[in-house]
Structure 1
Amino acid sequence: MNKQTLSLLTAALVFNINCANADDASSIEHISIIGNQQQLDTAAGSVTLIDEAELEKLEYDDIGRVLATVPGVNIRQEDGYGLRPNIGFRGVTPERSKKINIMEDGVLIGPAPYSAPAAYYFPMLSRMTAIEVTKGPSMIKYGPNTVAGALNLITRQVPTEQALGLDVAAGTDGYYKGHVYYGNASDRLGFLVEGLTVASDGFKELENGADTGFDKQDYMAKVRYDLSSEKFDQFLEVKAGLGEEQSDETYVGLTDEDFRSNPYQRYAGSQLDNMDWQHDQLQLTHYIAGSTFDLTTRVYRNNFERTWYKLNGFASSLGGQIPTLLELLTHPEDEQHQRYYEVLRGTADSTVREKLVLGNNDREFFSQGVALDGKVDVELFGFNHQLSAGIRWHEDEIQRNHTENTYLMQSGMLVQTDENTVATTTNTERTEATSLYISDTITFDKLTLGAGVRGELIKGFYQNRTPGFEQDFQDKTTRIWLPGINAYYAVDNNNGVFGGVHQGFVPTSPIQAASVEVEKSVNYELGWRYVERWQRMELVGFFNDYSNLIESCSQSAGCDTDLTFVAGHVDVYGLEGSYQHNLFLDNGWQIPLSVTYTHTQSEFKDSFYSGFEQWGYVEAGNAVPYLADNMLSVSAGVKASLFDITLIVSYADSMPESAQTMLTGNSGDSALAGKETDALLNMDVSAGYNLSDNSRIYLKVDNLLDEQDIVSRRPYGARPSKARQFQLGYKYNF
């Protein structure tokens, strides 16, 4: 962060604090991007709020299982636990959630959101008290990615009085969870400390009996000082966090035949695969609000380090053509693949022809910045205006220090050779971005109109640090303005219609050539909403018109090296529906019901060939891969004074693994051509019993029917959904 930015930050904080006296305490928190319930009901766009009570229904640790209940969300499962989620909204690629904005308390939380947006880090869900999903024209406030939507995770706020919480649970596959928080406040000063650990031995099986699970810890502390007075609500807060993970996860899946035999087996070649990361964050927030305005200033710094040791493929001392892991596991019947397949499984020993290559993808990230967001209500020319504006100075960076070692398979165990460690990728990408937005919302009786624009000035820097290749560097600048308009009309006290259009944008990373155009689209939506006290319905149609769809492919997508591919004109359109109702019975019981449905269609408008495995030979009219035509989620339950039961059933159609619909016999065929995932049917159930006003026990079962489905064949081979898991827990809150 440069001196000019720090000076501007200091001036902003001094100005804000001097705006109010410190007389009375206030407990205002300003970490939501949606706002209160009334704003949610009259929003001129598609928004979803999942509160703490809803999150506690099934005690999920996996964000993918929660978002399966939100319309318009497309997810590609991978490891079963949601360690590194693949989330998309309205048809954008879900790969590592790189095309949506992921925020924690309103701040971008990805390791390097501009330079390397693939989210290999994701905050632990169990410590969140609310989740907000925003789609549509209001996206111009939340960059840099404005095509799809924003996901904001809200952490526990500092309490105004003593608060204590405890949640412990144990389950099958060695699962356990420990979660505790304590907070208190005295006069104007309040604090909160929170710790969470979640672990499992894993539901997959290695022949040597090693774990295939994970162990994660997350710690957070907040201190808030209340500066409120009679005229202003105001506080200053510091948040610090620390997280770490050890997981024995792998990119290596199975052949379809082996999946049918035992979907939870792991090949011996993946026995050393391990992810080890550490994340820390520091955030300073100042908030001030008067009768007609509010202003939030945030200063943030996130650091993330990881070593991702994993099987990359095969090498040979004799040269010759060697199959990739994707080719090997997708087409194991090929005669030239048999020997490699046996070595991978550990049923045959290696020769110099079949050395296994394990890579250590060692990376260091940081992101930091200063953001100011404000609103003011004014009356001009006889109309009520709500003016919103914000500016953010942001910088992030990724340093890659990748290496590889070779191993031999000996009696089912990997034995390292005496060959030297080889450096494979040594580079740095860094971005400096200044973004701003301004919008105006005008109310005319029952009609609310909004218009705004977002601007992004992005300076990207790439440097190859490999000795002898230092001349390989690039710096480039992207400038863009992204307009949006929307409207909401209150037909009556319960019904409203809304619609809008906005410019979609996804920036390129610093390493991508300056000649590669950014991803752009024009996005439309039109919806209807019905709201009453215990019932809510919404129906939204959307259309995303891409003028230039681009994809970057890394090893997580099944590519051996990072590459960029351009598809040009693509259309994605669909329908989102949701219905919630809470029925009250005479005996005091409640029956909550929720139904969400998403229908999505997509088509490439041009015919072309791409080396990207997800595309291959594309004919105009082919569908975009990893988009289910239909997704349905139904949640129903019974709630009484002493107990509650909830059942969630979710369904998703099968999805194409590639845009190429069938094999043509050409050497450039996609290995995934013509293949589809299984249609996914999942049922989760939970039950709780209140021992007292402050404590309860709960029992939950994930994947009650023990469905064993192929959720993806990426990165390398067929991957299963999570096996059935039982969990028993105890929760105390004071």
Structure 2
Amino acid sequence: MINLNELRPSMNKKPLAVLITSILLSTFAVADDDNTSIERMSVIGSKEDLIKSTGSVTLIDELELEKFEYDDIGRILATVPGVNIRQEDGYGLRPNIGFRGVTPERSKKINIMEDGVLIGPAPYSASAAYYFPNTTRMTAIEVTKGPSTIKYGPNTVAGTLNLISRQVPDSQEGALDLGLGTDNYGKLHAYYGDTVGDFGFLVEGLHLKADGFKKIDGGGDTGFDKSDLMAKFNYRLDGDDYSQLIELKLSYGEETSDETYLGITDADFAENPYRRYASSQLDQMNWEHQQVQLTHHIEFSDFNATTRIYRNDFERDWFKVNEFISSQGGFVPTLQQILRDPTSEQNLPYYQTLTGDRDSTLREILVLSTNAREYYSQGMQIDFAWDLGLFGLEHEIEGGIRFHEDQIERNHIEDNFFVRSGNLQSTGEATKPTSTNTENTEALSVYIQDTLQFEDLSLTLGVRGESIDGYYQNRAPGRKQDFLKKTNRIWLPSVSAYYELSEFSGIFGGVHSGFVPTSPAQAAEVKTEKSVNYELGYRYVNSGQKAEVIGFFTDYSNLKESCSVSAGCDTDTEFNAGEVDIYGVEATLSDTYKLNSQLSLPWSIVYTHTESEFKDTFYSDFTQWGFVNEGDGVPYLADDMLSLSLGLTANNWQIFILASYSGEMKESAQAALTGDPRDSSLAGIKTDALSNVDLSGSYNLTSNSQLYAKIDNIFDTAKISSRRPFGARPTKPRQFQVGYKYRF
């Protein structure tokens, strides 16, 4: 057995993949199904698995993804029931995604995977997903909620989002995609691959850019540049009675984006929602991401096993406005307090400094922080499936084991600036270190589930185990300490069933244990998140027709939230809220009408209604909770979400329209300000209800080439999507895009 403790990054930063590749090559294998795909990247499985799943599953395939040519995962997931989104930058650079009412903040409570492997920078040690794979290069997206979530982990309350990258083609294949659009948007995407004999390869490159739709007072950049490169190499090793494949995946990504956490006041938003204050002119995010993944698959007639070794490295620096300080002492308001009440006698000088209308004094020194962080995530996981007859019953057994290690190393610093004539000018003071620490986690997880067939009833019993050892070290000069250890052991059972009413329909339901671990740095009194999750539903699938309705109920014995700068906190801190209930209903209805031999009319309706309530009365320092009364609802959760998709397709062209609606969301659980100095500055405030309509169309010039065009936000509506962490932030304005594709 591999001892991950011996590979601790504090002692050895060599990639785990390099150290154990030889073990994998001599011990495990992986591979293909000649009838489907040679790559095992799906978490849903076959089409039949999706139809008869004992939980809520959604598959968005490549044809669906190409309808609207979205680069933003938030817009893609608008057609998935039970998904709650908090928009941030308008481009989806750092998505905030939740399922069934869990906080969407930095997507930290869902499992984010690429090709079946955890892809977050440090999913155990620091789960906030500041890196998110570029969805433009994906060929499928899977969303899994309900009891089957125990197969993935570590977060089992909400669900799993699996992004599937392009597969190595069976024969020569390639494509070129060129796009141009509003605000100097540009896209260059190309790939080429082939299989010759038993050897296959794929190379793919993607570059996206835009100048941005916000305008900084006095000028400055608000856009982004992103690039991705990926290569896959595989080799078949088939035998007489089995098939197998080995594959190496290498990828690199980078981003430079002139993004900020600083929003604007509601009054300024009403006048110009796309304004940015002069004080944010230097704000910029830079990151790099590398991935190495080695996969082996072996398949016999009734058994298959997939083994993956993976290593992800992520490094980021985000230089941005953080706060005001005074060299003369005294009270200094927070940025959120300033932007909520900018005209008060106390706040007005700070507001005028932010906008650049007033030069700083020694009482309005602006602090910009560089949140520099280095992450890695590495491990080995084995998943298997086995069909067998036992005790007169048919069993579909699935299981797996994962050895995982991840780490975050923070090296945060701060610099002080004056505002002079609308520009930032260094005060000349030395750079100061702030957060200087390391969090590291070693985890061993296992799962097994057995689906038994009793005529029309499929019964699935499963359990997941997590053994987590976390380590925290403060590396601050003069305060350096040894690693402090934190241990968590837990078993998470599940039971679910599907009853076949007919060949095309059935009812399903289940219950499973929900769990979200705490980070290694948190004090012992911060408890892990635990819940019992229930769902009951009906599903009908027949060719192009689908109807599904699911009721869900999440019974938290303890709700845990973590607060970082993106949520308005100075440092990463976790809080407990005790018992909370979240419940609702998800509904999907879709079909395709044949108008005649040439024209078809595909359509779908997706609706989600969610309710939530705290079961206790309490006060929390977490600003999104504050003073909570029993019965209050959780913040950033819309009661109603609705999307309607309608298309018209012919042999050589197609047109689609997508209309979506998300209700207003509370910025804080606290209903109103009470006058207490500890009050949340956003108590009683809600985001706007968001309505959006997108239109897209394409025309096939030849069998190999296509023109496409799209308009996002046709009616150019501007709404407040959030006021976190500092001030109102807008939705994306109307954007045009045209493009050309060539495939061979």
For the aligned pair, the TM-score class normalised by the smaller chain equals over 0.9
Q: Which residue of 2 is the match for residue 576 of structure 1?
A: 586
Moved >3 Å (runs of 4+):
1-13, 24-27
1:537 aligns with 2:547: yes
Report the CA distance shift for 1:472/1:550 in structure 2 as closer, same or farther (over 3 A). Answer: farther
Kept after mapping to 1: 8 A contact 2:236/2:246:
yes
> Which one of the candidate residues 317, 324, 329 is aligned to 2:327?
317
Matches for 1:134-153 after TM superposition, within 5 Å: 134-153=144-163
Query: Structure 1: how far apart are the matches of 2:673 and 2:203?
Result: 57
1:181 aligns with 2:194: no
Kept after mapping to 2: 8 A contact 1:34/1:132:
yes
User: Is there any run of 5+ residues in structure 1 with no aligned partner, and where?
Assistant: none
Q: Which residue of 1 is the match for residue 282 of structure 2?
A: 272
> Which one of the candidate residues 715, 734, 741 is aligned to 1:731?
741
Q: Which residue of 2 is the match for residue 514 of structure 1?
A: 524
Q: Secondary structure at the match of 2:521?
A: coil
Q: Secondary structure at the match of 1:335?
A: coil
Task: Give the TM-score normalised by the residue count of structure 2.
Answer: 0.96
Q: Which residue of 2 is the match for residue 548 of structure 1?
A: 558
Query: Structure 1: how far apart are the matches of 2:449 and 2:420?
Result: 65
Kept after mapping to 1: 8 A contact 2:217/2:355:
no
Kept after mapping to 2: 8 A contact 1:25/1:227:
no
Q: Which residue of 2 is the match for residue 76 of structure 1?
A: 86
Q: Secondary structure at the match of 1:672?
A: coil
Q: Secondary structure at the match of 1:344?
A: helix
Q: Which residue of 2 is the match for residue 38 of structure 1?
A: 48
Query: Structure 2: how far apart are the matches of 1:546 and 1:16?
Result: 40
Query: Structure 1: how far apart are the matches of 2:6 and 2:581?
Result: 45
Matches for 1:457-472 after TM superposition, within 5 Å: 457-471=467-481
Q: Which residue of 2 is the match for residue 308 of structure 1?
A: 318
Q: Which residue of 2 is the match for residue 702 of structure 1?
A: 712
User: Is there any run of 5+ residues in structure 2 with no aligned partner, and where?
Assistant: 8-15
Shift of 1:562: 2.2
1:594 aligns with 2:604: yes
1:122 aligns with 2:135: no
Q: Secondary structure at the match of 1:568?
A: coil
Shift of 1:436: 0.3
Query: Structure 1: how far apart are the matches of 2:237 and 2:601?
Result: 43
1:383 aligns with 2:383: no
CA deviation vs aligned residue, 1:166-211 (integer Å, no higher than 9, x gap): 1110001110000000001100000000000001000000123222
Matches for 1:496-511 after TM superposition, within 5 Å: 496-511=506-521
Q: Secondary structure at the match of 2:348?
A: helix
Kept after mapping to 1: 8 A contact 2:221/2:281:
no
Q: Which residue of 1 is the match for residue 64 of structure 2?
A: 54
> Which one of the candidate residues 182, 204, 210 is aligned to 2:220?
210
Q: Which residue of 2 is the match for residue 567 of structure 1?
A: 577
Shift of 1:2: 5.9
After superposing the two structures, state which structure 1 stretch, 57-66 or 583-592, moved more.
Answer: 583-592
Q: Which residue of 1 is the match for residue 28 of structure 2?
A: 16
What RMSD over aligned residues (CA atoms) do the two structures have, in Å? 1.6
Shift of 1:333: 3.1
Query: Structure 2: how far apart are the matches of 1:10 and 1:25?
Result: 30
Q: Which residue of 1 is the match for residue 249 of structure 2?
A: 239
Q: Which residue of 2 is the match for residue 288 of structure 1?
A: 298
Kept after mapping to 1: 8 A contact 2:5/2:442:
no
Report the CA distance shift for 1:457/1:169 in structure 2 as closer, same or farther (over 3 A). Answer: same
Shift of 1:718: 0.4
Q: Which residue of 2 is the match for residue 342 of structure 1?
A: 352
Q: Which residue of 1 is the match for residue 169 of structure 2?
A: 159
Query: Structure 1: how far apart are the matches of 2:102 and 2:694?
Result: 27
Kept after mapping to 1: 8 A contact 2:687/2:721:
yes
> Which one of the candidate residues 605, 630, 643 is aligned to 2:653?
643
Q: Which residue of 2 is the match for residue 255 of structure 1?
A: 265
1:93 aligns with 2:103: yes
2:742 maps to a residue whose letter is: Y
Report the CA distance shift for 1:395/1:626 in structure 2 as closer, same or farther (over 3 A). Answer: same
Shift of 1:651: 0.2
Query: Structure 1: how far apart are the matches of 2:451 and 2:574?
Result: 39
CA deviation vs aligned residue, 1:114-164 (integer Å, no higher than 9, x gap): 000000000101100000000000111011000000000000000011001
Report the CA distance shift for 1:71/1:206 in structure 2 as closer, same or farther (over 3 A). Answer: same
Q: Secondary structure at the match of 1:395?
A: strand
Shift of 1:11: 4.8
Query: Structure 2: how far apart are the matches of 1:721 and 1:309?
Result: 23
Q: Secondary structure at the match of 2:464?
A: strand
Query: Structure 2: how far apart are the matches of 1:397 and 1:613?
Result: 27
2:525 maps to a residue whose letter is: S
Q: Secondary structure at the match of 1:57?
A: helix
1:398 aligns with 2:402: no
Q: Secondary structure at the match of 1:83?
A: coil
Kept after mapping to 2: 8 A contact 1:28/1:233:
no
Query: Structure 2: how far apart are the matches of 1:633 and 1:238?
Result: 39
CA deviation vs aligned residue, 1:517-536 (integer Å, no higher than 9, x gap): 11000000000001111201
Q: Which residue of 2 is the match for residue 408 of structure 1?
A: 418
Q: Which residue of 1 is the match for residue 622 of structure 2?
A: 612
Kept after mapping to 1: 8 A contact 2:515/2:531:
yes
After superposing the two structures, state which structure 1 stretch, 295-304 or 222-231, moved more.
Answer: 222-231
Shift of 1:3: 6.6
1:633 aligns with 2:643: yes
Shift of 1:561: 2.3
After superposing the two structures, state which structure 1 stretch, 468-477 or 587-596, moved more.
Answer: 468-477
Query: Structure 1: how far apart are the matches of 2:116 and 2:653?
Result: 35
After superposing the two structures, state which structure 1 stretch, 585-594 or 304-313, moved more.
Answer: 585-594
Kept after mapping to 1: 8 A contact 2:85/2:104:
yes
Q: Which residue of 2 is the match for residue 721 of structure 1?
A: 731
CA deviation vs aligned residue, 1:4-47 (integer Å, no higher than 9, x gap): 99898755542335x99x9x999611110101111100000000
> Which one of the candidate residues 479, 485, 492 is aligned to 2:489?
479
Kept after mapping to 1: 8 A contact 2:51/2:541:
yes
CA deviation vs aligned residue, 1:593-638 (integer Å, no higher than 9, x gap): 0110000000000000111111111000000000000000000010
CA deviation vs aligned residue, 1:223-258 (integer Å, no higher than 9, x gap): 010112331121000000000000000000010000
Query: Structure 2: how far apart are the matches of 1:584 and 1:491?
Result: 27
Report the CA distance shift for 1:16/1:475 in structure 2 as closer, same or farther (over 3 A). Answer: closer
Query: Structure 2: how far apart are the matches of 1:343 and 1:334?
Result: 14
Matches for 1:672-687 after TM superposition, within 5 Å: 672-687=682-697
CA deviation vs aligned residue, 1:348-376 (integer Å, no higher than 9, x gap): 11111111000000100000000000011
Shift of 1:331: 2.0
CA deviation vs aligned residue, 1:34-61 (integer Å, no higher than 9, x gap): 0111110000000000000000000000
Q: Secondary structure at the match of 1:592?
A: strand
Query: Structure 2: how far apart are the matches of 1:35 and 1:233?
Result: 18
Q: Which residue of 2 is the match for residue 450 of structure 1?
A: 460
Q: Which residue of 2 is the match for residue 221 of structure 1?
A: 231
1:447 maps to a residue whose letter is: L
Query: Structure 2: how far apart are the matches of 1:421 and 1:556?
Result: 22
Report the CA distance shift for 1:514/1:354 in structure 2 as closer, same or farther (over 3 A). Answer: same
> Which one of the candidate residues 178, 198, 213 is aligned to 1:168?
178
Q: Secondary structure at the match of 2:76?
A: helix
After superposing the two structures, state which structure 1 stretch, 559-568 or 128-137, moved more.
Answer: 559-568
Query: Structure 1: how far apart are the matches of 2:164 and 2:146?
Result: 20
Query: Structure 2: how far apart are the matches of 1:320 and 1:269?
Result: 22
Task: Give the TM-score normalised by the residue count of structure 1.
Answer: 0.98
Kept after mapping to 2: 8 A contact 1:27/1:226:
no
Query: Structure 1: how far apart are the matches of 2:36 and 2:604?
Result: 35
Query: Structure 2: how far apart are the matches of 1:84 and 1:27?
Result: 31
Q: Secondary structure at the match of 1:260?
A: helix
Shift of 1:468: 1.6
1:190 aligns with 2:196: no
